Amino acid sequence: MGPEVKLFEQEVAAYLGVKHAIAVNSGTDALVIGLRALGIGEGDEVITSPFSFFATAESISNVGATPVFADIDPNSYNIEPRAIQAKITPSTKAIMPVHLYGNPAAMAQIMDIAKAHGLKVIEDCAQSFGARYCGTCLSCNGSCQENTRTAITGKQTGTIGDVGAYSFFPSKPLGAYGDGGMVVTQDERVAEVARILRVHGAKKKYQNEMLGYNSRLDTIQAAILRVKLPHIDAWNKARRTAAKIYNELLADVSDIITPGFVDGHVFHQYTIRITDGKRDRVQQALAEQGIGTMIYYPIPQDRLPIYKGQYATNSLSDELAEQVLSLPIWPDIGLELQELVVQALRSALV
Ligand SMILES: *Cc1c(COP(=O)(O)O)cnc(C)c1O
């Protein structure tokens, strides 16, 4: 919590266009502290996407609330607004959309639902630093864009709901050299509680007033992140260029569904769908040629052993878990390597 932490908080707040940024020890802590600061706990239900990393649902369970899973839109891989609507009960207190792979969730519709039902919105931005919500509907790959512009068009993910939670884990878009996270909010009171929770629930040292956490961000991580922050837009732009190139190179490959290329998507991951049950075989074939790919995520959260038997089927999320494959992507991957990956993919698919 040295001077760089405060400076980094100020710089992130300015970059995102948000009043308060509170640095914490991880993205998971940012979610937990964000939920606690919003007053969510025992007896509350939080609606979220089944198709995410377990930290999303884990944070909800860890504050004593119940995760409720609403199925995804197969085109965006993100939570589907009508599915949220169907899961609302008198116990619902919040919605936790995840901007998966760096693709902003359908925030305009989600905020409308939240407003109509008096719900809080906490955005899981672990994969979306620098992504702006552009109101594009992925179901039509952007062709309806002009019709969906709203007041929140162009806003940074994390600044639209009540709280945004970021991760600076090394693999994330803005990565430290160890763990780190950030809670952002426009709300003075939420920010104050988050600051107190970060250091054992004490506003004044040794005068602890609530059960908090040890969740300081290390000064060394803040110092590193301050060097990287000014580059994030250029890196995200380069990722978008690489994603566009992949989409073009893969356009004529059958049994593959490429991700929609929409404004705002920062392509933390470039994730294709391989249909006809060939995914695992293709991954193996690529691995044999030294091409690393990943499956985010092989088991949807509602199917994890910890929640065994507790949830009904979310069929789209289940289907995608069998099909998704994330290809190598980083800002300066370059055309040559991308062609190599696509060539390997072509031969693996025959
Ligand atoms: C990485 C990640 C988290 C957790 O962040 P950590 O900094 O690793 O704790 C939460 N949600 C999603 C979607 C993530 O990808």
pLDDT tens readout for residues 181-226: 999 999 999 999 999 999 999 999 899 999 999 999 999 999 999 9
Q: Residue 15, Cβ neighbours under 10 Å: how many?
A: 17
The tokens for 318 are 């289940």
Nearest CA to ligand 1 atom 2: 126
Judged by average pLDDT, the poorest of 52-66, 93-107, 132-146 is 132-146
The tokens for 246 are 């992949």
Architecture label for domain 3-230: 3-Layer(aba) Sandwich (3.40)
| Residue 276 confidence (pLDDT) | 86
Average pLDDT, the chain: 94
The tokens for 326 are 């994330």
Residue with the bigger pLDDT between 267 and 136: it is 267
| Residue 148 confidence (pLDDT) | 56
Over residues 71-104, the pLDDT tens digits come to: 999 889 999 999 999 999 999 999 999 999 999 9
> Residue 302's closest CA among 91, 79, 86?
79
- Residue ranges, comma separated, of all CATH 3.90.1150.10 domains in the chain are 232-349
- Residue ranges, comma separated, of all CATH 3.40.640.10 domains in the chain are 3-230
Distance CA 190, CA 181 (A): 16
Q: Are 83 and 313 in contact (CB under 8 A)?
A: no
Looking at the chain, the whole-number percentage of residues with pLDDT higher than 70 is 96
Q: Are 16 and 158 in contact (CB under 8 A)?
A: yes
Region 64-70: mean pLDDT is 98
| Residue 151 confidence (pLDDT) | 77
Which H, E and C letters describe the chain, residue by residue?
CCHHHHHHHHHHHHHHCCCEEEEECCHHHHHHHHHHHCCCCCCCEEEECCCCCCHHHHHHHHCCCEEEECCECCCCCCECHHHHHHHCCCCEEEEECECHHHCCCCHHHHHHHHHHHCCEEEEECCCCCCCECCCCCHHHCCCCHHHHCCCCCCCECCCCCCEEEEECCCCCCCCCCCCCEEEEECCHHHHHHHHHHHECCECCCCCECCCCCECCCCHHHHHHHHHHHHHHHHHHHHHHHHHHHHHHHCCCCCCEECCCCCCCCCCCCEEEEECCCCHHHHHHHHHHCCCCCECCCCCCHHHCHHHCCCCCCCHHHHHHHHHEEEECCCCCCHHHHHHHHHHHHHHHHC
Is pLDDT at 144 greater than 90 in this prediction? no
> Residue 101's closest CA among 66, 72, 62, 122?
72
Q: Is 215 in the pocket of ligand 1 (CB under 6 A)?
A: no
Residue with the bigger pLDDT between 230 and 146: it is 230
Q: Is 55 in the pocket of ligand 1 (CB under 6 A)?
A: yes
| Residue 141 confidence (pLDDT) | 44
Counting from 1 in the atom list of ligand 1, the atom nearest the Cα of 172 is 1
Over residues 17-28, the pLDDT tens digits come to: 999 999 999 999
Nearest CA to ligand 1 atom 14: 126
For domain 232-349, give its CATH number from 3.10.129.10, 3.30.1050.10, 3.90.1150.10, 2.40.50.140: 3.90.1150.10
Give yes or no for a cis peptide into 297 (omega within 30° of 0): yes
Q: Is 124 in the pocket of ligand 1 (CB under 6 A)?
A: yes
Residue 312, amino acid: A
Give me the residues paired with residue 132 across strands: 156
Distance CA 36, CA 28 (A): 12
* Ligand 1 mean position, distance from CA 262 (Å): 23
Q: Is 127 in the pocket of ligand 1 (CB under 6 A)?
A: yes
Q: Is 52 in the pocket of ligand 1 (CB under 6 A)?
A: yes
Q: Is 169 in the pocket of ligand 1 (CB under 6 A)?
A: yes
Kindly tell me the burial class for residue 247, based on how many C-beta atoms sit within 10 Å of its own C-beta (0-12, 13-18, 19 or more). Answer: middle
The best mutation among 56, 163, 168, 317 to test binding of ligand 1, ranked by most ligand atoms within 8 Å of the C-beta, falls on: 56
Q: Are strands 120-124 and 163-167 parallel, antiparallel or unpaired?
A: parallel
